[in-house]
Amino acid sequence: MFEAVEDLVGEHADLEKKLADPSVHADQANARRLNKRYAELTPIVATYRFWKANGDDIETAREFAAADPDFVAEVKELEKLREELTEKLRFLLIPRDPSDDKDVILEIKAGAGGDESALFAGDLLRMYLRYAERVGWKTEIIDSTESELGGYKDVQVAVKTKGGQGAPEPGQGVWARLKYEGGVHRVQRVPATESQGRIHTSAAGVLVTPEAEEIDVEINPNDLRIDVYRSSGPGGQSVNTTDSAVRITHIPTGVVASCQNEKSQLQNKEQAMRILRSRLLAAAQEEAEREAADARRSQVRTVDRSEKIRTYNFPENRISDHRVGFKAYNLDQVLDGDLDSVIQACVDADSAAKLAAA
């Protein structure tokens, strides 16, 4: 493990020299890439240097302890610190998800259950908006289709860190937390439309994709088919009056993105392009993972996007995540945005699996 760290220390030093060269910053994209890598390596290098200094301190303390028993306790303290630093280094060396620093586009779709599912989709949207508010993220609803009872048949929302693209610290972007939310969310409760008081089970699907910047995905305009049509749905002066809604199809892949929420055709086109870029980036990453599956098998996270990832049981006020065995009886608080413990259980399971494979 520590031979690999020495290589990273050398890479960190080379990056420091490059970033000190003013000519490097003439290419903004390259400078961002170098800065990102430098920021990723800095905590590893700092911890490794501390680890090496701790080793020297242990040797010195042992020499003193051989002549003076009063130093034995100090040796034990330093050895305990060494174990902690070694574990921290192992954690820092876990292969990182390259998208962890990215913002995301989160899509919620009503599934089985009709109107009740649409209402639950609205509850999930509120949960994520409140969670984003708690942690200081910015949110923007890109497109939505409301149901007659006030829920959502489909809603797409952009979630960003305060600094926009990227994150305050490496690995602390929106994707690093919300990537575990993708899958089928199941709800068990008495629907508002149920007159007999019977508990129903319905579901809504959540899709989370890292939001792509223009430098992430190169799109040839000739590969796009852009269709315009009249908006549909409740409310709005522009609804059913002008051809402002936009649907963009990426012909080579068949990926489609549409938007009808904005009043102008240009605004809808810009929003649809954001969605399209993110979907193409996600598709490219999935394809790359499939092609490199054998080589990267030990690095693939165990917390996947299998169906029915979570159950929201209203009668018992219970939230259960079936992937990691998490269970708590504070569903009301979770739906009010207190998602940290649920997400952290997934993060911890992911890290444990990667540590075991390292």
- Tell me the C-alpha distance between 116 and 148, whole Å: 11
Can you read off the two tokens belonging to residue 4? 């690999």
The pLDDT value recorded for residue 165 is 43
Q: Does domain 2-92 have CATH number 1.20.58?
A: yes
The pLDDT value recorded for residue 111 is: 87
Task: Give dist(CA 47, CA 41) in Å, integer.
Answer: 10
pLDDT at 290: 64
CATH 3.30.70.1660 assigned to 104-296+305-357? yes
DSSP assignment, residue 327?
E
Phi and psi (nearest 5°) for 216? -80, -35
Predicted local distance difference test score (pLDDT) of residue 233 = 58
Q: What percent of the chain has pLDDT over 90?
A: 52
Beta-bridged to residue 209, according to DSSP, are 105
Amino acid symbol at 174 = V
**pLDDT < 70 positions in the chain:** 1-2, 163-171, 193, 195, 213-216, 232-242, 288-307, 358
pLDDT of residue 185: 94
Q: Do domains 2-92 and 104-296+305-357 have the same CATH topology?
A: no
| Domain boundaries of the chain, sorted by first residue | 2-92, 104-296+305-357
Give per-residue pLDDT as tens, 301-351: 333 444 689 999 999 999 999 999 999 999 999 999 999 999 999 999 988
